[in-house]
Amino acid sequence: MSLMPYTVQSFRGAFAMVWYEGKQRHRRRLYSTDRSSAEAEARQLWQEADTAPWTVGRIVTGYIDKLAETAPPSLQRRRDAWKAMRSYWDNVDPSRIDDTMCEGYHKARAVSDATSRYELQLLSTALEWAKGKASYTEKPKVWLPPKPERQIRHLTHSQFEAFFEVVRAPHARLYVLLGLYTMARPTALLDLTWDQVDFDLRQIDLNPPGRRQTVKFRPIVAINDALFEVLLNAFAARQTQYVIERGGRRIDNIKKAFQAASLRCGFRVTPYMLRHTGAVWAAEAGTSMAELAQFMGHDDDRTTQKHYARYSPGHLKKAANSVQRRPRKHE
């Protein structure tokens, strides 16, 4: 879905840019012969012809439409963020942005520091992108709320069992076990297809064919005995190529199932908590941070150490035991 006030449509075997001025419909044929090139051509034509002021709204929508060319995983989240931001920022002149305005936005939004920070970072990034296009040469400084301390929220064994007991839908129960035993991120599980599951080697390649690895690295993980039997049964009953499916259709979002089960068990559980839960349990069982880092797809074990080392039974014990008293001997 484009945020620009025009569309690119098929036209006589090629493409055309279509827009409205009032109720009057206009169409301009494009030279490009494929859609991605046609969209880039239309965007350039529109920007060159647009004499409207470079408001924050024009800047952010232009930046998001530019991102749409490569369709990064964060694209939809940024679109959703702009929807929430638009009423406050849409017609603002970038030169008016200062700490007071940003702090006022943070207060008016009345959301967590993390959410507000993400939205203001989107604004800052878009302003950097528009530098040289808009009327300013130096990007306005955007105040950000303090970066919140990340908390690892995980389930104890008893909490997991209480939650799993009230997860009802078969596809949701399969997702919960996959999330726990693979420690994969939610998107990777929803993207997972059966050709990524190797029953002979008992491995799952979490990175689908054709996907370029990003900072959200998707590793190859081992299938333990408990998950192996569950996957065999799900494979036998499959109706689509996707591992997580319902009624013969792929599942795009699992949050509603988690929300319903959370209400039934009396405490909140999110899909991402399964990743943390599996990691904490592995650390508690004595798994080395280096091996856990590989399993979770971390570049190295520094991130793993930061969040999970304290759950290891041997964490800092050598340092603790190295501190010994030496009582003075009495003659």
pLDDT in tens, 71-114: 787 888 999 999 999 999 999 999 999 999 999 999 999 888 88
Same domain flag for 223 and 125: no
**Residue 18 falls within a domain, yes or no?**
no
Same domain flag for 143 and 217: no
Same domain flag for 217 and 182: yes
| Residue in 106, 99, 112, 73 with CA at minimum distance from that of residue 190 | 73
**Residue 32 falls within a domain, yes or no?**
no
CATH of the domain at 216: 1.10.443.10
| DSSP conformation class of 183 | -
CATH of the domain at 131: 1.10.150
Give the tokens for residue 44. Answer: 């350039």
pLDDT at 19: 82
Same domain flag for 142 and 221: no
Same domain flag for 58 and 83: yes
Q: Can you name the residues that pair with 245 across neighbouring β-strands? A: 250
Same domain flag for 291 and 216: yes
> Can you tell me the distance from the alpha carbon of 168 to that of 155, in angstroms, rounded to the nearest whole number?
19
- Three-state DSSP state, 182: helix
pLDDT at 278: 97
- Three-state DSSP state, 15: strand
Burial bucket for residue 254 (CB in 10 Å: 0-12, 13-18, 19+): buried
**How many residues does the structure list for the chain?**
331
> Can you tell me the distance from the alpha carbon of 303 to that of 98, in angstroms, rounded to the nearest whole number?
34
Q: How many angstroms separate the Cα of 212 from the Cα of each of 81, 100, 180, 217, 295? A: 25, 41, 25, 9, 18
Output the tens digit of pLDDT for each of the chain's 331 residues: 445 578 899 988 889 989 887 778 888 889 888 888 888 888 777 766 666 688 999 899 989 988 887 878 788 899 999 999 999 999 999 999 999 999 999 999 988 888 999 999 999 999 999 887 777 878 899 999 988 766 668 999 999 999 999 999 999 999 999 999 999 999 999 999 999 999 999 999 999 998 988 888 999 999 999 999 999 999 999 999 999 999 999 999 999 999 999 999 999 999 999 999 999 999 999 999 999 999 999 988 999 999 999 999 988 888 888 898 888 887 6
Name the residue type at position 324. Answer: Q
| Residue in 145, 123, 143, 144 with CA at minimum distance from that of residue 134 | 123
Same domain flag for 173 and 302: yes
Beta strand 197-198 with 24-29 is: unpaired
Domain count, the chain: 2
Q: In this predicted model, what pLDDT tens digit does every residue of 119-140 receive, in sequence order?
A: 999 999 999 998 877 778 788 9
| Residue in 52, 15, 139 with CA at minimum distance from that of residue 4 | 52
Domain carrying residue 89: 52-149
pLDDT at 1: 41
